[in-house]
Amino acid sequence: MGYTHYWSHPEIPADVWARLAEDTRRLISMAHNAGLAVAGRFGTGAPEIDERAIALNGCKDFDEEYETFMLRPEATDFDFCKTGRQPYDHLVGAILLRAHVLASVDVRSDGDMSGDDWAEAHLLYAMTFDETAPVVVW
* Predicted pLDDT at 56: 98
Assess if residue 71 is contained within a domain. yes
Number of structural domains found in the chain = 1
Which residues of the chain carry a pLDDT beneath 70? Answer: 1, 137-138
Assess if residue 93 is contained within a domain. yes
Assess if residue 15 is contained within a domain. no
Assess if residue 20 is contained within a domain. no
* Predicted pLDDT at 138: 55
Assess if residue 68 is contained within a domain. yes
* Predicted pLDDT at 112: 86
Assess if residue 62 is contained within a domain. yes
* Predicted pLDDT at 1: 56
Assess if residue 134 is contained within a domain. no
* Predicted pLDDT at 82: 97
Domain of 92 in residue numbering reads as 25-129
Cβ-contact 104, 2 below 8 angstroms: no
